[in-house]
Amino acid sequence: IPSLLSIPSRYPMKPLFLILLLFAISQCRSVKRGAIVEYNFCTDRNGSSPYFFKLSSANEKFEFDVAKIQYINAINSTGWASVDIEISSEGMPEWQQAYAAGFLEGRFTRHLISDHAYNIVSHYCKGAGHTVIEYSTSFFVNSNS
């Protein structure tokens, strides 16, 4: 195995770069994670609506749980968010489990989806001259005539 310090001259890497790289990698392990948010999605006694969700403490079980979400938003510190959904299959129909899981995921990640859409679309409408929006509009207007 060749040593990192014996890299051929066509790849000019300095030892300082390697030290900074190793430091950056070591810091990834110690990044502070975001706050954990947990909610339960429950039904009433007969398993019908109305549905509601409430803040739960760790490992707390409710009598009529359908789903439980654990959401960690660490976007600003690590660049990632984490969503874990636990489904209670005891006596609940599959459609109700799927609805509960989708509701909880959508409820807690809607701001991430909105931010992503804003970051992608906002640049198309800025600037001088023809933008993608103007080209698209003229294409559809001309194709209908």
Hey, what amino acid is at 19?
A: I
Residue 116: its pLDDT value, please? 82
Residue ranges making up the domain that contains 9: 4-144
What residues does 65 pair with on adjacent strands? 42
Q: What is the CA radius of gyration of the chain?
A: 25
**Whether residue 9 has pLDDT greater than 80:** no
Residue 127: its pLDDT value, please? 61
Residue 23: its pLDDT value, please? 55
CA distance 52 to 39: 10
Please state the domain count of the chain.
1
User: Residue 6 — pLDDT band, cuts 50, 70, 90?
Assistant: low
Q: What b/e sequence results for 87-113 when a residue is b if at least 16 CB atoms lie within 10 Å of its CB, and e otherwise? A: bbeeebeeebbeebbebbeeebbeeee
| Prediction pTM value | 0.54
Q: What is the pLDDT of residues 96-141, one digit of tens each?
A: 888 888 988 888 888 888 888 787 777 666 665 556 667 777 787 8
Residue in this structure with the two tokens 């005539």, named with its chain if needed: 145
Tokens representing residue 89 in the block: 């299959």
Q: For residue 50, which phi and psi values (nearest 5 degrees)?
A: -80, 150
